[in-house]
Each structure stands twice: as C-alpha cells, then as structure tokens.
Structure 1
Amino acid sequence: MAEVFPSEEKTEPFTSEELEQRLHSSIQVDEVGDAHHDTVPLDDLIIEEDHHKQGIRILVRPLTRNRSVSPGNENVQWLALRAEVADPSQPRSRVLAVTQTSKDINFSIRIPQGEDERRPPLWCELYYDPASDSLILLNKSDVPIVLARVSQSGPVPGSNFDQEIVPGTTKDLSPGSWRISVRSIPVLDFRILEKRPATLLVPCDSFDSSVTATPDARNSFGKRSFLPDAGDDEPDSPVAGKKARKDGREKDGVIIFMGPEDEELIFPYPNASKTKEVAIPNGHALLEVQKDETAAIPGGREFDQYRLTKREQIATTGASSVFTAEHSSVPDGVITVKVLKTRGPNSDARPQDTHRNVIRQADIWLREYQSQEDLQHESIVRLYGGDARYLSLYMEHVDGKDLAARGVWRDGATDLFVGDRRDAVRILRDIAGALHYVHQKRKTHNDIKPANILYSRDRGAVLCDFGLSTRTTDPATNGGTPYYVPPEFIGQKLRGPASDVWALGVTMLYVLRKIPFPDARGRQGHPKQLYWMIADLNRKTAPHHGHHSRAASAVTQMQQWLSEVNEAKARLNPRDRVESLVLQMLTPNHTQRITMAKVIADLLKDNVVARK
C-alpha cells in the first residue's frame, strides 16, 4: 500500500515517551498510621451547590489498610460531606475533593507498595476530557489494575465490572463511582462529578427555536438543556432547583439561572435585548461557539470565570482552531484564541486512539503554556493566559499573517516568498532577537519555520507557537517539521539552540527566495514530493518489523533534502551581509554554527538595519 503523505505545514508532535516531564496535581498515599474507614458509599454523599461552584470534579477515598494521604497542592483538600441518609454514628464522611482549575489537565494518584508486599505500587493518571464530563484513566503502574464501577445505580451502558487495565492502556470513565483494585486488593474508590456547564449567549436572530428543550429533555449525561424565552420568568424553570431571574434593567434582557444562595451575577452583553442564553451541557464550549456568540465560562476562582466573545475564524485544522475574540479579563481589545482539539473528523476512530489524543493534546497544551508564560519580548506573541479545561490559549492578536500564508507572503503558484529585501532584513533581525531571548532563558523552540512567524511591515516579525518548546537540558525531541531539522540529528540525535539557528537559516533561504516554501514538498501531487518522519531518523533497525526500511528511507530522504539546502547555499552571496549570516547559520557542524547573539551584533554593527 502506498504511503500517505501528510499535508503541507505538518508539525509532528511530541511522542508519548517525550511527555514524561510534566507538572500534575496529585496526591501521595503513604502506608503509615491508622485511619478511620468510612463505609458510606461515595454516591450517597451530597454535593452542595457551593462545591460545584468551586469546580470540584473528583472525590477520592483511599482504601489501603493503613494510610496517610497528603494532598499534592491547594487543588486537593479534605472535605467532610453529609450523606443523603446520615448514620447517627457517622454524620459526615471525610473524602479528598479534587478541584479542576484552569491550569489542571489531569490528576495523578501514587500509592506505594503495601506493607505485606502482596500489593505492588499503584500509579494512575486521570485526564480531564475537555469535550465531555468523562475522565480518561491511564494505568502507569507496572502491573495490571482492576477497575469496577461501584455506583449503586448499576453500570452505565457498555461498561463492565472488574475490567482489567494492563499497564500503558487507557479507559474512558463516565461520571459515577469507581474502584481500583490490584491483585484482588481494593486500593482506591473515587467518584467523578459532572463539570459545571458553560453558558452560551446567542443573538436571537441567529438562534434556531427548534432546538428549544422541554423541561424533561435530557442529554446523554443526564443534564437538562434549557433555552427560556427572553420574557419567561416562571418559577418552574427547566433547571431543577434553580430559578430564572432578570436584571432589573429591561434593556439587558439576558436571563441568568441562579441558585437560591447565589450572589447577583449579571454578564453584560452588547445588544443584550437581542440575545438568549442557553446552557452548553456537553461538548466543547469553545469549539461550539460561533461568530458573535459569547461563552460565559464558570469557575471557582476569580481568574477561572470569564466571558469570551468569538469574532473571526483565523484557521482550523484537525489539531486546533484559531480565532479572534474579546475576553472579559483582557482590556486590550481583540485577542487570538488557540484551542487544541481532542476529537478528529474520523468518527470511527478506536477508543484507545481517542484517549491517546486527549492525553497528547493536554500535555502539549501544558508544555506550550508553561514554555510561554514567562516570555516577554516584543517579537514573541504575548501569552495572556490559558484554560486547561478547554485546552485553550489566550494570546496577543498580531495584525499580520504568517510567512507561509498563501496569497499573502507566499505566491500561490510558485510557492516563493513575495516580500523584498527590506522584509528579509526585518524578519531576520526580529526573529534573531526573539530566539536570542528564548535561548537566554535556556529554552529551545524546536519548530522554527515560516508558518510560525507572523509578519506585517507595521509590526515586524513575531514568533509564535511554543507547543514543542523544551528546556535546553531536556533530551532531544522527535517533534517538529522535518525540513528544518539540523544534520546533527541524524545518528547523534542532537537538538538545542543551534538547531533553532539552523531552522531559521532554512527559513531565511525561503525568505531570500533561494528555495520555494519547504513544507509544500510534503503535499500530495507535488512533482518533487519529499517527506519523512523525524522519529524514523534514529530508529533502531528491526527488519522483521519493517523498521529497517522506514529508517533507511527517512535518512535517505533527509540527505536528499540536505543536498538541496547545500545547492541553495551555493546561490548565496558571501559578500552580502545578510546572505553571509544565513550561510553561517547553515554551517553543518553545530559547534561552529553562528549564534543568534552574533547575528544581532553583526546586523547592528554594519548598520544593515536601524534600531527601533
């Protein structure tokens, strides 16, 4: 079967082995000290409205015979909850309550080996699914675990009791109570709670009244969907236990659903008299919101609660959606929103593949957020914040297109850059400055290419997309885009600041019109199609598994590409300062390659470009 080549502008993500260095909220359970064992089923514990408002998603009860539980951070706390039918001798039960905030992608549980050594250590990670109320369990232990649904209402359709989860595999867990056992020894009970739904403020003229829910209509997660009329103020609201209330100002006309103890909370909205409010009980709120609609995001903390009004779609791929929006916590006007997708267009995807994609995208979100949150440079897109609950990033909006934009900076027919020398000098100076700053922070970008450089003649060049950024002390990643990977990666698997320099050198060959847009070579139907997987360049040969041919093919194709880069280098003029610098950026020996600090110094020293 013929190999299917990816489309142009393809970035290879981190492999699963490369996503180990993460920060997670977690608990550590130690086998010391006696503890009282509660017998009240977790399903019977009452979750108050205040608990929901805090964003609590998981209740945890360790079952080890002797245990001492230390919450990993402020997102994990002990709660004393009352049961529906309280036992006079045990009026309240103590459980660990886990809150998902805008910075939590998952929750990790580690329990050491039992005192009698019959039970091995347990390590499980529970990833929050941004597109549903479910959690995805990943068994990181060295031994199989047994998972059972213990909700008294019985198993949900399609679930099994006593299902074995072998190491490295996943399981989708819907809301309810579950038990983890190892070698027939119960270790942990936990209950998954539904998340608070976002609310959508929809312009009336764009709303389809046919989707109005009746009071008895429920979605697949048992929540009620609702859409009241703007003038409806009936006490029997479709939302059980809540009442519809109107702001006293008739001009607003936005109905807010509130509990009896809620504080007054009104979200102002432009032309509110022409809007309706509807809950988004499941699905991904930020992917469902349409142009000029506002998503009201709830949260237990001040910074976790905000409004987002979508404006214009910028781009959408199978991995992400990028659009402009207005954010209630960002006073600077329009921002750029990037939302990582966890559901592909293929509805027939295997559950394990869907689970892996959620985990991979969550870890990429965390990496990008942590890599960029402390970067403050005029030629780097400013990160305002992000929301792990939706795998979204909120960034400065740069009024400029990326260098790969067809019909803007790239000729649609020839794939050549359409800017002039002044553009090339400006791009080199700005991105060299940004990379020098990043390298001073002891970080490597790992995905320098035209598509990750935004440019306008007013603003200059701005570096974006830090989803593959690593610390310079981290092992070399297989992520990135193959045309920009340096020669020292073959065999030696070396990457770092010098590899960013090489990648910018290849990018500058395109900007100086010495080569067409490199990524176009991966396009199906290209007359000189060329593409390889970065991970295959250093794959151990195993002929009986077909790895030998893959590795050999990858090395052969990359060597072919490097020969084309060398041919383009020969067309550079060493007496031209800018082209001379690009020559030095493409030095094959990474130890002799020019640094970004030297590039900047040379540009300024020779007055190639004036300071801002």
Structure 2
Amino acid sequence: MESSDGSFEDWRASSPDCPSVASEYPEPLESSSDTREEEIADQKSAPSHGLILPSKDRKTGGHAYGYESGQKPYADAVTTQRTTQSALEATGRQSIQRLALRLAKDNVTKLVAKQVGMEAKKSFRATRRPLFLAQTECEIGFQVTVYLCMDEEDSASEESAPELGMNIIFDPKSDAIMLFNRTKGDEQQFITVRKRPISNAWVPIRIGSSERAMLDPASYSISWSGKHILDMTVFPRRYMSLVPRHLKPLTKNRKRALEELASQSSPPPVKKPKAKEASEGSSVSTAIQIDDDVVAVSGPTVSSSLRSKFNLINDLCHPMEALKLHDAIKVVNSIEEEDYTLTRKADIAVHRKSLVFKARHSDAAEELIVVKLLRSHSEIDHKDDKVMGIDVVGERWLKEVKNNYRVSEHRAIASIYGFDARFLTLYMEYIDAPSLDTHINGEGNPYCTLDSKDARQVLLDMTDAINFVHRKGVIHNDIKPSNILYSKERGAVLIDFGLATTRSTHNGGTRWYIPPEYGSDGKRGAPGDIFALGVVLLFLLRKIPLPELQSPPLVWDIRRRGVGNKKAAAARAQWESIVNEAAGKLKDMNDGVIHPKVLKVISRMVAPRPKKRATGDQIVEKVKEYDDVGSKYVFTY
C-alpha cells in the first residue's frame, strides 16, 4: 500500500470505513494475564477523576490522637473507577483528541494501543477503521504494538508474526509527542518518519532501537524497515484555555475575528457556544476577550496572519508554569462534569525539577490547595544525565501519584485530592503550617527553637505515619525537617512522596538523613526511614544543629559508595560519628517531659546497624507504656 501525500483530513473524509469521530473508539480488549497482578494493585489505590476532599474533621481535628483508626475518606474514590476511552465513546469530546492512526492494510494486520497512566490498563484495537486516541487527565501516553503481515520467508520459518513496538508520550510543555522505538532489532531495522504531504524541505527522521524523536502537530507516514505500516496525525492541544483576571464580553469585531479564525481550522466548526472552556464539538476550543487586544483561543490550524492577533495556548511552554499569579486556566476532562478551573495564587517552592504553588480549584472553591508540577525537558540529550526526558519524568509522576493514593488516608500525611497527567500535576491538601526546618535561631549553627513537647508530638505523629506508610508497602526515602510541616493545632504532617518507592533500593535522598548501610550496599528500606526520623528528633531535641546549615558544612556525593571513594567515605564517617555522639547525649537528658525510656528508644533509632535499630512498633510500645500523652494517643496499628 502506497502512502498518499494528502493530509489526515483528506483520507478521513474519503474513507468509507470511517464513521463519525464520536464513535471512533473501539471496545477495549481484555488486558493480558502478565499485567493482571499489576492492574489489581493499581485498582486498589486508583482514584476517581474528580477532586476529592477529606472531611474537615480530619484536617482540623486538633491533636494527632484525634485521628480515628481505620478512617478511609477515599473509599468512594476506589470504588468509582471508569474506563476513560469508554467514557469518551459516550461523550465524543473532540477537544481532547490528540492522535489518529490509520493502518497500511497491505503490511499490517492490526494495531493495539494500551493506555499508560493512572487507570487500570486497557487496550484498544484498530484493524480497518482509523483509531482516534485522546489525551485525558489520566494518561501520559500509549504503548502501541503493530502486528505486521508475514512475508513468504516468515511463513516458511513457522515463526510468529513480527511485531513493532512504539511508545507515544505526550509532551506537557508543547503540542508535540515523543515517539520511542521499543522494538529490539539490528542497525538495519529502524522506524522512518516522513511528514505528509511529502516535501524535500522536510528531512525524514530515522529512529533506531531504543531511540526517540519529537513530532510536532502534523500528518506523518510511518515506515518500518522500508515498509509503510501506518499514517499518524498529531493534533495540537485543544482542552485548555487561559482565563486572566480582567475579562470583557466579546464585541462584534471580536466575534468576526473569531469566525475568521474558525473558518481556517478543520474540521469545520459547529455552532460555537458562548465563551466558555473548550467547546466539545468545535475545532476552536475557547474564545475569551482579554482587555482590548488579546484573545485566548486554540485550534488545530491557524494562519500566520491570524496567529499574530491571538494569544494561543499552544504557543506556551507549559500552561501552568506560564500561568501568572491570580490568573486561571480552564481545563476539559473526559467527563464534562469534571471540567475544572485552576487559579494560581502564590508560589511555595521553585526547583529545577518541580514547581509548587498555592491555588484555587473550582471543585474546592472555599479553600486553597497545593499544586505540585514535575518539570520535564522536551529536548533529548543523552549526553547530559541531569536532563530527564518526558518519558522518564512521566514515569516518576505516575509513581508519585500512585504512592500518594496508597497512603493518603492518614491524617498525619498530606492528602492528595486529584491529578492531571497532561500537566504532570498533583493536587494536594494545603496545610497552613511551616516546615520544621524554619524553627531555628539565627546563629551560625542553627538549633531548633521548638520545645520537648513539640518534639514528642512530632515523634507520635511521624511514628504513626511511618508505620502506616510501611504497612502499605511504601518507603518514603526523604524524611527530613523540610518535609514535615508542624503546628500545635494540627500536629506534624508528612509531605512529598516524590522519592518514595516500593522497594529497598533507591539512589536519591538527602545525605544527612540516609542510613549508614546505604554507603555499603545501596539499600535502605523501612529501617532507613526510622534512621531519618531519628536524625530529625536529634535536631528537635537540640542535640545537633540543622544538618543542612551546620558550619563548617559537611557534604559528600551520596552516589559514591564503598571504601574506594575515600573522600565521600571520610565525610560520611565523620557525620555518623556526630550522630552517634548526639544520640549518646540523650542518656543524660532530663527535662521532665520525655521519659528516659522513650529517650533511649529515640537514641536507638539512629543505631548504625539496621538490626540494632528501633522499629516503629518498638517505639509505639515504649511511648504507650512510659509517656502520659503517648498512652492516650490513638495509633493506627
């Protein structure tokens, strides 16, 4: 089958097999058995798509011993799952469509696209009809398998039909997608991408095994080892619009401008609704007048003359990174009732790999939430290990969201309310409390200004939270003062599961809170979280200054492990000596607040050997037996 030079719209209009867009979504296939176990695990913690808030009693219930054991505010979220593409089949929301795939029938028998995202994995098959794929709040992309026709040599060898594997990942910073070739092959086998219509001005892209390329919105012809296998059209994002603070009604002149814009888009627009977020049936998703000159719209194709007149969403680097303070963005979801508006209020933290800010969400208009955004890079640079591509960041985002949902039921852990894979964002509970690292004096070696009662409250709350997390099969891996918020009214709250894992091997973290065993075998696990909390308590009890600001500074590269790295090993040994000396001072401490038996178990939390280190259950046992407040505390387990 020869590839035509026409655009996607040409062959869609001429194809007798192609029904209306709203019915393009085929029935999902059953997932394969080798992924069933993973799906079941994900279903236990997967949320519904709407923003879900915990009860106010959980957030403002005073001391931690007001927490009710077994409380499950997300029970409804776990039981109200949907299949996103099935929902799309019912709604036909064209504004979230991002891909169209049509097979070369002479060379391909079928294509299967599997969702990569938060929902239980479902597969969608294409044979004769084109397959339309949407970018929803749940998917970072699709895993595509193309089943090739067997030639005479393949048939004679009695081998199974050859397969081509590709990953398609949506770029949160642009309208582009990343195409990753996951097919194992030699140098003679590669994917070739040609832009349609064919032009000498556009050089074909060659993608070898385990290589990737970024594709902008356009129509493409995809070949494998010289054989045309499919045509693919990438649509720009049409599911969001900026809503700045000062909006005015559209004037007649503005309406005419928008009609001119819509006339140059395809497919032809239906009757436009009044200015609102992303019209489902129109190629122009939003039209909103801003002051006197700027209109925010988005559509699949726009002429260069009109482009200069409008502030287009798909010109932005990342919509939420570019969102100005007090401005808002409207977002379309797979279900119309779950469309939402987000207003950026104030920044909390700006890092190289993430952005955190306070916001208002239309589903929780009466209170602030926290938006955490994972930053990614569209450019692919294999020489720079510090630059993470959208595929790597997308996988990290998935893990962080899933781990947050696994542990979000505990009142001493910040709740996750929702997420959006299109922006790599998490929508979290806002807690009006400073982190522990802010409670310091202004000296060169800053010591904690909280008292022993505060330290005891942190011990109770964090021990219960860590025990809860570990029983859910999660390791936090980054417990430190800056990741623990504290107020006398709420108690201590654990945040930031960005480095959390479900296994004991992990190479991230903050050096002063990483346990000694990591330096020898690279493992940490549950005992590593206990060690980190022990270091935090040494700081709270004023036995050491805040490690990050100690003077002179003591730093080392945590990736350099083993005795062969003498400089790192020497610095690590010096820090372990400081921690052991500080733990020894707890024996002589007597302020009448924390019982000596409890102080002893705190000192065992930083024991150099994991087998000698106190466990979470042992800490609970001691505080229940010897501490007046601890004996009344309602522990989860």
**TM-based fold match above 0.5:** yes
1:530 maps to 555
1:210 maps to none
% identical equivalent positions: 27
Matched, 1:357 2:386: no
Q: Aligned ranges for residues 538-553 of structure 1 at < 5 Å?
A: 551-553=565-567
In structure 1, how many angstroms separate the alpha carbons of the residues matched to 2:293 and 2:619?
54
1:561 maps to 575
1:161 maps to 204
Correspondence for 2:238 among 187, 193, 196 = 196
Q: Give yes or no for contact 2:191–2:225 (8 Å, CA) kept in 1.
A: no
Paired letter, 1:607? D
Q: Aligned ranges for residues 263-342 of structure 1 at < 5 Å?
A: 278-279=296-297, 280-282=313-315, 283-302=317-336, 305-330=339-364, 333-342=367-376
Correspondence for 2:143 among 91, 103, 108 = 108
Query: Relative to 1, partners in 2 of residues 1:148 and 1:201: Cα closer, same or farther, differing over 3 Å?
Result: same
Residues 280-324 of structure 1, C-alpha deviations (whole Å, 9 max, x = no match): 223211111122211101233247521001112112111111111
Query: Relative to 1, partners in 2 of residues 1:330 and 1:40: Cα closer, same or farther, differing over 3 Å?
Result: farther
Matched, 1:56 2:88: no
Q: Aligned ranges for residues 112-191 of structure 1 at < 5 Å?
A: 115=150, 116=154, 122-143=164-185, 144=187, 146-154=190-198, 160-163=203-206, 165-191=207-233
1:477 maps to 506
Q: Aligned ranges for residues 380-395 of structure 1 at < 5 Å?
A: 380-395=413-428
In structure 1, how many angstroms separate the alpha carbons of the residues matched to 2:571 and 2:415?
37
Larger mean CA deviation between 487-496 and 67-76 belongs to 67-76
Query: Relative to 1, partners in 2 of residues 1:466 and 1:332: Cα closer, same or farther, differing over 3 Å?
Result: farther
Correspondence for 1:99 among 112, 129, 134 = 134
2:619 maps to 599
Q: For the aligned residues, what is the CA RMSD? A: 4.0
1:399 maps to 432
Structure with greater proportional helix content: 2
Structure with greater proportional strand content: 1
In structure 2, how many angstroms separate the alpha carbons of the residues matched to 1:123 and 1:515?
54
Paired letter, 2:420? D
Q: Give yes or no for contact 2:94–2:280 (8 Å, CA) kept in 1.
A: no
In structure 2, how many angstroms separate the alpha carbons of the residues matched to 1:244 and 1:232?
18
Paired letter, 1:378? R
SS of the equivalent of 1:537 reads coil
Deviation at 1:162? 4.5
Query: Relative to 1, partners in 2 of residues 1:112 and 1:402: Cα closer, same or farther, differing over 3 Å?
Result: farther
2:255 maps to 234
In structure 1, how many angstroms separate the alpha carbons of the residues matched to 2:358 and 2:293?
21
SS of the equivalent of 2:261 reads coil
SS of the equivalent of 1:439 reads helix
In structure 2, how many angstroms separate the alpha carbons of the residues matched to 1:69 and 1:246?
36
SS of the equivalent of 1:94 reads coil
In structure 1, how many angstroms separate the alpha carbons of the residues matched to 2:605 and 2:338?
43
In structure 2, how many angstroms separate the alpha carbons of the residues matched to 1:367 and 1:303?
27
Deviation at 1:506? 1.5
Query: Relative to 1, partners in 2 of residues 1:68 and 1:352: Cα closer, same or farther, differing over 3 Å?
Result: farther
Query: Relative to 1, partners in 2 of residues 1:275 and 1:483: Cα closer, same or farther, differing over 3 Å?
Result: farther
In structure 1, how many angstroms separate the alpha carbons of the residues matched to 2:538 and 2:229?
59
Deviation at 1:419? 1.2
TM-score (norm 1): 0.73
In structure 2, how many angstroms separate the alpha carbons of the residues matched to 1:129 and 1:258?
20
Q: Which runs of 5+ in 2 are unaligned?
A: 14-19, 23-91, 116-120, 264-268, 298-312, 589-594
Deviation at 1:97? 2.0
In structure 2, how many angstroms separate the alpha carbons of the residues matched to 1:274 and 1:598?
67
Larger mean CA deviation between 93-102 and 178-187 belongs to 178-187
Deviation at 1:492? 2.5
TM-score (norm 2): 0.70
In structure 2, how many angstroms separate the alpha carbons of the residues matched to 1:137 and 1:532?
34
SS of the equivalent of 1:477 reads coil
Query: Relative to 1, partners in 2 of residues 1:382 and 1:259: Cα closer, same or farther, differing over 3 Å?
Result: closer
Matched, 1:439 2:470: yes
Deviation at 1:470? 1.6
Correspondence for 2:399 among 342, 345, 367 = 367
Query: Relative to 1, partners in 2 of residues 1:527 and 1:414: Cα closer, same or farther, differing over 3 Å?
Result: closer
Deviation at 1:446? 1.3
Deviation at 1:564? 2.1
In structure 1, how many angstroms separate the alpha carbons of the residues matched to 2:5 and 2:122?
24
Correspondence for 1:513 among 514, 522, 542 = 542
Deviation at 1:608? 4.3
Deviation at 1:182? 4.1
Paired letter, 1:94? R
In structure 1, how many angstroms separate the alpha carbons of the residues matched to 2:280 and 2:423?
28
Residues 571-612 of structure 1, C-alpha deviations (whole Å, 9 max, x = no match): 222772443222121122213322212212322322242437
Deviation at 1:364? 1.6
In structure 2, how many angstroms separate the alpha carbons of the residues matched to 1:178 and 1:456?
56
Paired letter, 1:485? I
In structure 1, how many angstroms separate the alpha carbons of the residues matched to 2:397 and 2:200?
31
1:211 maps to none
Matched, 1:500 2:520: no
Q: Give yes or no for contact 1:297–1:304 (8 Å, CA) kept in 2.
A: no
1:86 maps to none
Q: Give yes or no for contact 1:53–1:299 (8 Å, CA) kept in 2.
A: no
In structure 1, how many angstroms separate the alpha carbons of the residues matched to 2:517 and 2:386?
34
Query: Relative to 1, partners in 2 of residues 1:332 and 1:120: Cα closer, same or farther, differing over 3 Å?
Result: same
In structure 2, how many angstroms separate the alpha carbons of the residues matched to 1:603 and 1:260?
58
SS of the equivalent of 1:470 reads coil
Deviation at 1:122? 3.5
Query: Relative to 1, partners in 2 of residues 1:332 and 1:118: Cα closer, same or farther, differing over 3 Å?
Result: same
1:487 maps to 516
In structure 2, how many angstroms separate the alpha carbons of the residues matched to 1:442 and 1:232?
60
Query: Relative to 1, partners in 2 of residues 1:515 and 1:187: Cα closer, same or farther, differing over 3 Å?
Result: farther
1:88 maps to none
Larger mean CA deviation between 40-49 and 94-103 belongs to 40-49
In structure 1, how many angstroms separate the alpha carbons of the residues matched to 2:226 and 2:272?
52
Count of aligned pairs = 511
Paired letter, 2:262? A
Deviation at 1:554? 3.3
SS of the equivalent of 2:520 reads coil
In structure 1, how many angstroms separate the alpha carbons of the residues matched to 2:112 and 2:255?
47
Residues 444-499 of structure 1, C-alpha deviations (whole Å, 9 max, x = no match): 1111111211111111110111112122xx35111222222212223333221111
SS of the equivalent of 1:598 reads helix
In structure 2, how many angstroms separate the alpha carbons of the residues matched to 1:200 and 1:266?
9
Paired letter, 1:528? P
